[in-house]
Amino acid sequence: MSNEVKASSRERLLEAAATRSYVDGVNIGVEALCKAAGVSKRSMYQLFASKDELLAASLEQRAPGFAARLLPPADDVRSPRERIRYVFERVEAEAAAPEYRGCPYLAVQVELKDANHPASKVAHRVKEGLTSFFREEATRGGASDPDLLARQLSLVFDGASARAGIQADAPAGLLGPTVDVLLDAAGVH
């Protein structure tokens, strides 16, 4: 098998794992993943040691895009308060799409329930990156307890993502006021 064919099969498998696990959950079978990617199971196991490794690799590959969609650019001139609010504005916008199923990284952690699973480790790291963003902005904005605020904002983010993902509630009109209360209470400007 040539390197070009392997790379193409690899990319198709990564795409199928990201897309199908987001829609159908992480327990989607190997056969369904291979069928979606147009790749044989033999080829999959030549490229990845296991479905777990494939899922982790697909989450890792998608992490930069996840951050780019949610976080303001590093050179953005908004205030820390506006930078934090930006994340929640993005969640509101994404949650309005009919295909929205919530935060893919939260879903993986909830579905797997195993902190040592390779995909859970990737998801945890990505989610911790979001909490770190909140902590850094809270610190820059003068929060009285940046760590507590970062954890509270992560809780709101995950709750809004989960409720919107299961279509229990639309976050539009809820997130802004909720985040503002937390930012005000913490003294973030």
Distance of alpha carbon 70 from alpha carbon 85, whole angstroms: 10
Categorize the per-residue pLDDT at 84 as very low, low, confident or very high, splitting at 50, 70 and 90.
very high
Residue 153 and residue 142 in contact, taking contact as beta carbons nearer than 8 Å: no
Q: Is the pLDDT of residue 130 over 80?
A: yes
Q: By percentage, how much of the chain surpasses pLDDT 90?
A: 93
Q: Is the pLDDT of residue 67 over 80?
A: yes
**Is the four-CA dihedral 60, 95, 89, 154 of positive or negative sign?**
negative
Q: Is the pLDDT of residue 3 over 70?
A: no
Q: Report, at the CATH architecture level, how domain 51-186 is classified.
A: Orthogonal Bundle (1.10)
Collapsing DSSP to helix, strand or coil, 71 comes out as coil
Region 176-184 average pLDDT: 97
Categorize the per-residue pLDDT at 6 as very low, low, confident or very high, splitting at 50, 70 and 90.
low
Domain ranges of the chain: 1-48, 51-186
Tracing tokens 């199923």 back to the chain, one arrives at 101
pTM score, whole prediction: 0.91
Q: Is the pLDDT of residue 1 over 80?
A: no
Q: Report, at the CATH architecture level, how domain 1-48 is classified.
A: Orthogonal Bundle (1.10)
Q: How many residues does the chain have?
A: 189
Mean pLDDT (the chain, rounded):
94
